[in-house]
Amino acid sequence: MTTTIDPTSPAAAEELTSFPFDANGTRLPDVISHLLTNEPVKKVRTIAGAEAWLVSSYALCRQVLDDARFSLKDTSAEGAPRQYALTIPPEVVNNMGNITGAGLRKAVMKALNPKAPGLEEWLVRHANELVDQIVATGIPADLRSDFTVPYSTGLHCQILGIPQSDAPALYKSLHVAFMNSAKSIPAAGINWDRDMAHMVDRLNDPETTGLMGELAALREDSDYDHLTDEMLATVGVTMFGAGVISVMGFLTMALVSLIQHPELKAELIADPSLIPAAVDELLRINLSIADGLPRIATETMQLGDVTVQKGELVLVLVEAANHDPAEFEDPHTVRLDRPNPNAHLSFGGGGHYCPATALGKRHAQIAIEVLLDRLPNLDLAVPIEQLVWRTGFMKRIPERMPVLW
């Protein structure tokens, strides 16, 4: 007897693979190899219950990111298929597009320049101060809560020109803002409104410097009459949120990778000049991005062997693209001599390539330089299998990272 299943029935829906995959950041999900070899474009079921095309191969991921017909802005449109429920206002999803449209891109890019006067020196000093505190407190330390979080929040308070004392409250909101949930999260809106009100207060504070001070000054310029306090505050809130969670997530996972590759750690201690190259390779193998980079097809298009219909959701699987042997020879080996060290997609691509790429790299380089110089015997204080990985979150991060030295 043969049974035919209607492709629109609930039974058929259950057959779709659920995405995202494993939250464990110590290993590439087993399914990646299968996807790259057999299903570089695969229909999956998202947390929100929507169908989406999951794109795995490097070439096709690059095609999606480079083709403006795959739209980020449209992922927030009412009725669009979603990866998970929005935790920010829909109009904020395309934040850099909004910043450019408002005439603020120059000010933002200036703030994100790692060569801004005194910024590198501040990062070195801040990293050393955090290590001082770790050493004074003694073994074990939690490298995430004691170093990668305050090092990352501190950087963003510095470039925004707001007090370092603002960091804990603003960071607390990110635990909710970066959840991936099937349903809307009431606390997300409450946190957003509170943080926006706080950032408006900083705009009005004459002591505010940095980017927020520059934005506040624009209110006196008639060329910027179209800007509201809400628009300016949104820049601050989103830059803190997206920036902190990205650099903290990458740096935390880079340190996990260093501990997993003691031969690399030893090589960097022996020759710190290799650290910039190591950061690019650590970016490539990094598993901090736990979801897919979302796009909506604005017209019907061919993607590999699949026809993507207008309005369908497409998810770029960065971790798969970064381990595609068609682009990266021997992709599971850490190599500092790759001919294409910047080809990885960890900063996205196309029109939405991360504007803070140089800052993110320098942030990580300085952290690794200081940690390996001050704590050359840095290691996990527990077996790596005992790390607890956060679930229901857009980033893979260990809840705690106990270390000794």
Q: Provide the CATH number for the domain around residue 52.
A: 1.10.630.10
Q: From CA 144, how far away is CA 134, in angstroms rounded? A: 11
CB 282 within 8 A of CB 293: no
Residue range 386-398: average pLDDT? 97
In this prediction, residue 8 carries a pLDDT of: 44
2 within domain boundaries: no
7 within domain boundaries: no
SS (H, E, C) 2-67: CCCCCCCCHHHHHCCEECCCCCCCCCCCCHHHHHHHHCCEEEEECCCCCEEEEECCHHHHHHHHHC
Helix, strand, coil share of the chain (percent; to 5): 50, 10, 40
DSSP per-residue letters across 287-322? --B-S-EEEEESS-EEETTEEEPTT-EEEE-HHHHT
3 within domain boundaries: no
In this prediction, residue 9 carries a pLDDT of: 45
Residue range 115-130: average pLDDT? 98
1 within domain boundaries: no
Residue range 174-197: average pLDDT? 97
- List the structure tokens of 233: 């505050």
199 within domain boundaries: yes
In DSSP terms, 53 is beta-bridged to 43, 314
Query: Rounded mean pLDDT of the chain?
Result: 95
Q: From CA 175, how far away is CA 244, in angstroms rounded? A: 12
4 within domain boundaries: no
Confidence grade of residue 232 (pLDDT, cut at 50, 70, 90): very high
Residue range 42-48: average pLDDT? 98
Residue range 252-279: average pLDDT? 97
State percent of the chain over pLDDT 90. 93
Contacts of 335 (CB under 8 A, 6+ apart): 281
- List the structure tokens of 202: 């900083």
Judged against a pLDDT cut of 90, whether residue 255 lies above it is answered with yes
3-class DSSP assignment, residue 353: coil
Confidence grade of residue 94 (pLDDT, cut at 50, 70, 90): confident
9 within domain boundaries: no
Quote the number of domains for the chain. Answer: 1
Instruction: Say what the pTM is.
Output: 0.94
Residue range 317-330: average pLDDT? 98
Range of the domain at 194: 14-404
Confidence grade of residue 14 (pLDDT, cut at 50, 70, 90): low
- List the structure tokens of 98: 């909004």
Q: From CA 228, how far away is CA 69, in angstroms rounded? A: 30
Q: From CA 326, how far away is CA 37, in angstroms rounded? A: 10
Q: From CA 309, how far away is CA 341, in angstroms rounded? A: 34
Please report, as a single letter, which amino acid is at residue 97.
G
5 within domain boundaries: no
CB 131 within 8 A of CB 375: yes
Q: From CA 179, how far away is CA 395, in angstroms rounded? A: 9
